[in-house]
Structure 1
């Protein structure tokens, strides 16, 4: 039988900080995630240690590592904190103008470069006290992050997203090929033979060619040589600048950003590639959470300027640029 006096020593704030320490494994980052001072987290950790009669977290080179008891408590703590967010806090109204909430978004470095700036403009206007954090993780970890509440949304073209997640289309991507501005082998047109023989840089969050964002090329029977698979979009123009014989196929919006810096130029792939969807994903546990409802509606509204017709417009512009 539980001891009511002992239960009263464990308030919800302690569990919230316990959850943050489990996720962040750092007093500093846990304080930032919850919106309190580092001393408040340290004080809470001392109370938790007294309550459980265990160090719970010990210093290690990789951060504050949970002890065996903390690992054993983790599923219960995560479930309790998630239940509080879903069943109790979800009943409270969310006011973006006054909230100090931290929103966590899973996205690639491409998302940070192309899509995060317009979203932050909306945040600063509508939710000036809120903060935004981004995570770049392999797709197989996304469901767990959304389920635990560590992340609010996942944005991107997640080809292997779990079926249990909610999904909403934001807009359609076009894929184009970029070559170094110093590349003299490729003219205004890229032949299929050139495309198959030239060494490619493929972007994959898992770093594996088979999981690449441009894997639609293989689905069309194209046999290309992938020289490098990388999880980072932003390294691609630098690699092409240093190795002018390399080529890459990337989303049009990103290619336009790269092209503005003068290191690459955009050409059409030798075969027509169907546009693919950029979506936002969230977990059913937080479907009715007012803050999550607000952020996903904001994301949807922000990218109303990138609908399907924008993809067609971008394709027409690309063809015009190639003819020049």
Structure 2
């Protein structure tokens, strides 16, 4: 068996299947039809004399041989992207690729609407995919090229990641519009006595602003911890005695629903920085550089978002 017998384009197919675990999504990711993807998979199976991927309830799961090949092929694809494709440059008007961003559901509400508007005009053949992953997995996804950037409030960037501040955000406390006990302000006594919702990706009540409350000696009556910001206004609407402290940007979005309003917290919380992070391996990658520049330009004066040229 010689390397000339292997169409190296099939390695791109293998890498996409390994990441997406779906023939349909993998085809979309690399810009081919589902039929072409299935044909390429059959060619891979014939070359390696192994099924490589088996359909399971969890998607297309790699066989043991597929797992073994996967690590090497992912390294090869990452090396080609970094050392070969980089030299070709990046033209946003003609480029066809999917940018993958790590962010929370809060990040989707804040970042995606203006980013989609600008990307569709400046890079019309490129698409976006948002993924939500635990903090400890972000470095690995950025290092492997599975994700291009991470966006959000990451206070201690893992080793090997660069970061750039986009803008600062402050905090507000959400209350139900049906809670007649709360007017335009919230006393410390009210804040400490009311049951609260807190959002934590880890599932533990350990949000970064908790330390600020602790510094003031403010006690929090935490009733529910959830990893989903989007659930917060609906839960408060269903249980009007609940409150939640969230970034101002979310407070503005949620207040438009008409079911909640926001008031200042009873103590002044320090602002937090929203940042974009990327791996040092892709620091000079033209596509990554272009995307970072676009995001910085879009959000550095948030909430004043410029229109695309």
**TMscore range, shorter length:** over 0.9
Deviation at 1:47, TM superposition (A): 1.5
Answer whether contact 2:104 2:132 (CA < 8 A) is retained.
yes
Aligned residue number for residue 104 of structure 1: 100
Query: Which aligned pairs between 1:173-322 and structure 2 lie closer than 5 A?
Result: 173-210=169-206, 212-220=207-215, 221-306=217-302
1:45-85 superposed Cα distances (whole Å, 9 cap, x missing partner)? 11211222111111111111111111112221111100000
Q: How many angstroms does 1:213 deviate by?
A: 4.8
Corresponding residue to 1:47 among 17, 33, 43: 43
Q: Indicate which of 100, 121, 124 corresponds to 2:120.
A: 124
Task: Count residues with an aligned counterpart.
Answer: 303
Residue deviations 1:194-253 (CA, integer Å, cap 9, x gap):
21221111111222212x254244442322121111111111111110010110011101
Task: Summarize deviations over 1:121-163 as a string: whole Å, max 9, x none.
Answer: 1111111111111111111111111111111010000234313
Relative to 1, partners in 2 of residues 1:38 and 1:213: Cα closer, same or farther, differing over 3 Å?
farther
8 Å contact from structure 2 (residues 213, 269) kept in 1: no
Give the unaligned 5+ runs of structure 1: 311-324
1:294 to partner: Cα distance: 0.4
Residues 1:141 and 2:137 are matched in the alignment:
yes
CA contact (8 A) 2:197 2:225 kept: yes
Q: Does the CA contact (< 8 Å) of 1:214 and 1:250 recur in 2? A: no
Deviation at 1:12, TM superposition (A): 2.4
Distance of 2:168 and 2:229 partners within structure 1: 18
> What SS does structure 1 have at the residue aligned with 2:166?
strand
Secondary structure of 2:202 counterpart = coil
Tell me the alpha carbon deviations over residues 14-72 of structure 1, each in whole angstroms, 9 at most, x when there is no partner: 11111111111110011011111112211111121122211111111111111111111
- What does the per-residue CA deviation read over 1:157-212, in whole Å, with 9 as the maximum and x for residues that have no partner? 023431320000000010111111111222222122221221111111222212x2
Q: Cα RMSD (Å) of the superposition?
A: 1.5
| Structure-2-length-normalised TM-score | 0.94
Structure 2 distance, partners of 1:20, 1:281, is 23
Q: Contact 2:157/2:163 (CA < 8 Å) preserved in 1?
A: no
- Residue aligned with 1:306, SS: coil
1:61 aligns with 2:57: yes
Q: Secondary structure at the match of 2:284?
A: coil
Q: Give SS of 1:209's match.
A: coil
In 1, Cα distance between the equivalents of 2:35 and 2:179?
56
Q: Distance in 2 between matches of 1:290 and 1:85?
A: 10
Name which of 110, 113, 116 aligns with 2:109.
113
Paired residue secondary structure (2:230): coil
Structure 1: distance between partners of 2:273 and 2:254: 21
Taking the aligned partners of 2:162 and 2:32, their CA distance within structure 1 comes to: 31
TM-score (norm 1): 0.90
Counterpart check, 1:161 vs 2:134:
no
